[in-house]
Structure 1
């Protein structure tokens, strides 16, 4: 008999075992221990045991679904208007769609009871409060196309695609900085600066990214305090351990409007990659929406190639 119940303190070893039973995937950290699961998921200040739903048969856990929410305006609280099933897993040797369907239904009910009017599948900014570093890559990508079991379960439950994510990687082993005239001009007027312990933007950012090993690089123009361009990198752990390659995830690449189309981003990444390579980093991972053609063209110019795709899935709440 199938039973779905809230999380218990004795569950982490069983949930970690369910995770380890999954088929090999590029975007799934393996092997997961209960200690890592507690550190990356259960220790979050906004974790609610009632939202981590465990499916059991004859008392033995066979799957779980994790319902969660995103931040309110300003990132200073949790907002329950938008909900997501941040993770859905059924034990790898169990082939019963009814388990995943029941878990999704209970996850939606939890979200709806707390005020959610729309349900998403997987983590996607700003619904990214859990599993960063365990699933996806540099950012939470929704549901990866390389994760067919989870993708099929949500599609079966009438979740529809509302966006698509491109996951990109760039090897640094053969990196050569751009030496064009325009880039040399940027070097003359901008100072490359770094901050190896950047402050969080708000409470939500502190909760999600605070434990990560981050560094922020920026370009400062003479006589100006506000950076003309900036980018943040984080040590993509523990996921990169699965790949055996020292990898940094790239976040928040920003060029101020008045400095765009001046090779600022190119020069900033040139210097950032040079610094990271000196620190032993051999891979950079980034993510952007598939319809952002300008960003994709820039990443390809910088030597990135697509390695996976994520799908942003959502559905309206069920009746009742």
Structure 2
């Protein structure tokens, strides 16, 4: 019988963490083939990374057979962590060592760490504003819980006493030959009155954005009235270079779609998404991805109207009954 020991992260662990990441069948939403330097830049180098929050399972103190990584969400100002909200960002067990209780023990230790740190609520899967790690590495455009294309996630978390809390829909649009060509009267009218422009003045300034999406290549784009004036709509375009190996194509994510309140239902959201797709297609980008909460009917309608198709969904799970408050 194999004896499994548990300990916190050490500096020599990343190569084996990446081995588990690449070999564990996480589904279409996981970037693969990433280097230790890339993993370090997006995960380990986070200012709030705590080695005690990355717990590994080993067979000889060196050979990793599993790990769980937890963190905390942001407070309302998005200027600091909120330790009342704990997040299980990743949990992976080597396929050869599954069904031996390793995953269950990793989650137990992760929950214990979070509770002792003050967590009153624990989520399984990160989504803004409770997504401290793995932006750019899991989920695509942005973390969206655990994806349904990751088949082991749902049964595992439900067996661990977690229930679905919120669902995020994942849409994609192919930009190469055969991709959709969008045009309607409302969008034509919007196109006559506006033009695509940089929207750097609207770049998020909060710490939470800077430390997550801010680590990825991104740019703010918007629609400006041709006659001058304030932005009509804006989005953030995020480079998904980490997914090139997994998806066999270059892709971008479109996040933070916002249409000015008085300009809604006039085709500007649809036009902006289409214009962004046309612009990046000229730069040899072959795929665009956008997310929307399942409850956000307006965002879903705009994304679909711009030629995006539903390809996946992510679920954030919540520990049933909440977490026990820390006694410290």
TM-score, normalised with respect to structure 2 = 0.91
The alpha carbon displacement at 1:223 in A equals: 6.9
SS at match of 1:280: coil
Alignment CA distance shift 1:209-1:24 (3 Å): closer
Q: Residue deviations 1:13-63, cap 9 Å, x none?
A: 221122122126211222243333212210111111111111122323211
Other-structure match for 2:288: 284
Aligned residue for 1:80, secondary structure, equals: strand
Distance 2:133 2:185 in 1: 44
The correspondence for 1:39, drawn from 38, 41, 50, is: 41
Matched with 1:209 is 213
| Deviation per residue, 1:143-199 (Å, 9 max, x gap) | 111212233221111100111121111111234654433323223332321258974
Partners of 1:313 and 1:3 lie apart in 2 by 27
Who is 1:5 aligned against? 7
TM-score (norm 1): 0.93
CA RMSD in angstroms comes to 2.1
Assess if the C-alpha contact under 8 Å between 1:54 and 1:63 holds in 2.
Answer: yes
Q: How does 1:152-171 map to 2 (within 5 A)?
A: 152-171=155-174
Instruction: Determine the structure 2 residue equivalent to 1:67.
Output: 70
Per the alignment, do residues 135 and 97 of structure 1 end up closer, same or farther by CA in structure 2, a change over 3 Å counting? Answer: farther
Please give the alpha-carbon distance, in whole angstroms, between the structure 2 residues aligned to 1:249 and 1:226: 24
- How many residues align? The count is 320
Kept in 2, the 8 Å contact 1:196–1:214? The answer is no
1:118 Cα deviation (Å)?
0.6
How does 1:215-230 map onto structure 2 within 5 Å? 215-221=219-225, 225-230=229-234
2:185 is matched with 181
CA distance, structure 1, for counterparts of residue 275 and residue 316 of structure 2: 33
SS of the residue corresponding to residue 183 of structure 1 reads helix
Correspondence list, 1:121-136, <5 A: 121-136=124-139
Measured after TM superposition, the shift of residue 107 of structure 1 is 0.8
1:14 to 8, 13, 16: 16
Provide the rounded CA distance (Å) in 2 between the counterparts of 1:164 and 1:181.
Answer: 33
State the match for 1:244 in structure 2: 248
2:258 is the counterpart of 1:254: yes
